[in-house]
Amino acid sequence: MARAFNDMTRRLGEAQRQLTQADKLASIGRLAAGVAHELNNPLTGVLTYASFLEKRARGDPDVQRDLEIIVRETKRCREIVRGLLDFSRQTPPRRQPADLNEVVRHGVAIVMNQFAIDRVELKLALAADLPPVPADANRIQQVVVNLLVNAADAVGERGGTIQLATRTATVPARGHAAIRQATCPRGCDLLDPAVRIGGWSSIRVIRRVGDRDTIVHLDPVYGRARHRLSDGAGTGLPALYLCPLCRSRLDDPGRRCAECGRPTFAVSAGAAGPIEWCTRRDCHWTRWEAIEKAGPQRFAELQIEDTGRGIPRQHLDRLFEPFFTTKGGRGSGLGLAVTWRIVESHEGTIDVDSEPGRGTRFTVRLPYAVGPSAPVPPAAMPAPVPAGARGAP
């Protein structure tokens, strides 16, 4: 009786948590739509008058060039406003072959005046042979501007250096590939957006040892083991893994861990097949056959590195959460959240490496191959993982 009551309590708690999360997302969507609507009219006025002035300034090339930037960036602001509406409607980006270097140059032009005032030196290293990448150029330009502004803020008033580079990168699956879908045998969604690891929704399961159940949030990056457990009970003991919603078992009959020989459990990643972990908590073995067979994937890579104050390690996992900021009253906490959302909507990744006092490096990767047939792209904030290791709760 007590166990049934506990199960009912847990299910009610799970339902309440999901409703609360849905209400938060709906509120953010309504806010985005309202802000976008209010900005449309003044932007139209700015664009109209700037266009008139541009035509009247044809005798002064310097003024005309400045006005061309105002017109272009006002149009980009209009696209950002549309993007806010898209945010509330979950609209996918409008991908077309884009020159990433050109997108970067446009973004740099916007922030150069601020850099000059703040005594920030910008060093560019743009790959000359970079192929076009399928992307929404306006949204990716927003990513570039957001990251450059953040880097300038990190450098501060004393001045410093920001290095921006583009290149083509080939990235392996293990330690990088994101698990974007996770379901139990009955189809329950196991992704938990309320608990994120490296910006991505964790995979929520129940670990049962004897008659004791504990909650485990699995790292949503294949081959990485930054799992979160509600307690440390039962290390090394046999365990069952269950769906937290329907309580169906996740064990994988007939499959064994390649390292310790214990039974495994698995979740389904849809068309990308099952992902397995060892049931022994202190064994860090994992296997995702489909993604391993797909092999490494090619990306257009954008890297922005600053010599600023750096980010404390305890803040890294929360960096992309809406309204979380390390700037105190000077930041809204939306810049990196929007940046992450744009990159993720392109099936890309954003990785951050930082240490207090030694600066910060953001790496954005956009896949050359997109769509249902493309391999699963790497995840945000990857950690190096030795081959054949990492992945068990």
Average pLDDT, the chain: 79
Residue 120 shares a structural domain with residue 48:
no
User: Greater confidence, 68 or 80?
Assistant: 68
Residue 355 covered by a domain: yes
Whether the pLDDT of residue 274 is over 80: the answer is yes
Whether the pLDDT of residue 115 is over 70: the answer is yes
Condensed to tens digits (0 to 9), the pLDDT of residues 313-359 reads: 767 767 777 665 665 545 555 678 788 888 888 888 888 888 888 88
Residue 208 shares a structural domain with residue 276:
yes
CA 220 – CA 201 distance, rounded (Å): 7
Cβ(206)–Cβ(216) below 8 Å = yes
Residue 58 amino acid letter: R
Residue 281 shares a structural domain with residue 301:
no
101 to each of 123, 300, 392, how far by Cα in Å?
A: 14, 10, 40
User: Greater confidence, 13 or 196?
Assistant: 196
Residue 138 shares a structural domain with residue 266:
no
Task: Give percent of the chain above pLDDT 90.
Answer: 30
Condensed to tens digits (0 to 9), the pLDDT of residues 169-187 reads: 998 888 888 898 999 999 9
CA 194 – CA 215 distance, rounded (Å): 14
Residue owning tokens 């951050």? 352
Residue 56 covered by a domain: yes
Which range has the worst mean pLDDT, 2-11, 41-50, 350-359? 2-11
CA 144 – CA 183 distance, rounded (Å): 34
110 φ, ψ (degrees, to nearest 5): -70, -35
pLDDT for 247 equals 93
Q: What does the buried/exposed string (b/e) look like for 346-371 if buried means 16 or more CB atoms within 10 Å of the residue's CB?
A: bbbbbbbbbeeeebbbbbbbbbeebe
In a 13 Å sphere around the CA of 2, the CA atoms on its Cβ side amount to 2
Residue 196 shares a structural domain with residue 279:
yes
Residue 90 covered by a domain: no
DSSP conformation letters of 195-221: EEETTEEEEEEEEEETTEEEEEEE-SB
Confidence of residue 48 (pLDDT cuts 50, 70, 90): confident
Domain boundary among 272, 287, 302: 287
Residue 118 shares a structural domain with residue 75:
no
CA 37 – CA 45 distance, rounded (Å): 14
Handedness of CA 174, 374, 100, 364 (dihedral sign): negative
Whether the pLDDT of residue 388 is over 90: the answer is no
pLDDT for 83 equals 57
Condensed to tens digits (0 to 9), the pLDDT of residues 177-216 reads: 889 899 999 999 999 988 888 778 899 999 998 888 899 9
325 φ, ψ (degrees, to nearest 5): -140, 150
Residue 337 covered by a domain: yes
Q: Which two tokens stand for residue 306?
A: 């600053």
Domain boundary among 46, 79, 112: 79
Question: Which residues does 80 contact at the CB level (< 8 Å), separation at least 6?
Answer: 138, 142
pLDDT for 380 equals 37
Whether the pLDDT of residue 375 is over 70: the answer is no
Instruction: Kindly state the average pLDDT of the residues 92-102.
Output: 89
User: Greater confidence, 237 or 62?
Assistant: 62
Helix (H) or strand (E) holding 352: strand 349-354
Instruction: Kindly state the average pLDDT of the residues 30-52.
Output: 71
pLDDT for 218 equals 94
CA 239 – CA 344 distance, rounded (Å): 34
- State whether residue 162 is helix, strand or coil: strand
Residue 64 shares a structural domain with residue 103:
no
Whether the pLDDT of residue 379 is over 70: the answer is no
Strand partners, 302: 166, 364
64 φ, ψ (degrees, to nearest 5): -65, -40
Radius of gyration of the chain (CA): 24
Residue 304 covered by a domain: yes
Residue 123 shares a structural domain with residue 70:
no
Residue 265 shares a structural domain with residue 320:
no
pLDDT for 297 equals 87
Confidence of residue 57 (pLDDT cuts 50, 70, 90): confident
Residue 166 shares a structural domain with residue 204:
no
Domain boundary among 266, 287, 308: 287
CB atoms closer than 10 angstroms to residue 70:
16
Residue 30 amino acid letter: R
pLDDT for 201 equals 86
Residue 168 shares a structural domain with residue 30:
no
Residue 113 covered by a domain: yes
Confidence of residue 269 (pLDDT cuts 50, 70, 90): very high
Residue 272 amino acid letter: A
Residue numbers of the domain that contains 323: 95-174+294-367
Domain total of the chain: 3
Residue 283 shares a structural domain with residue 313:
no
Whether the pLDDT of residue 15 is over 60: the answer is no
Residue 22 covered by a domain: yes
| CATH code of residue 334 | 3.30.565.10
Residue 311 covered by a domain: yes
CB atoms closer than 10 angstroms to residue 61:
9
- State whether residue 229 is helix, strand or coil: strand
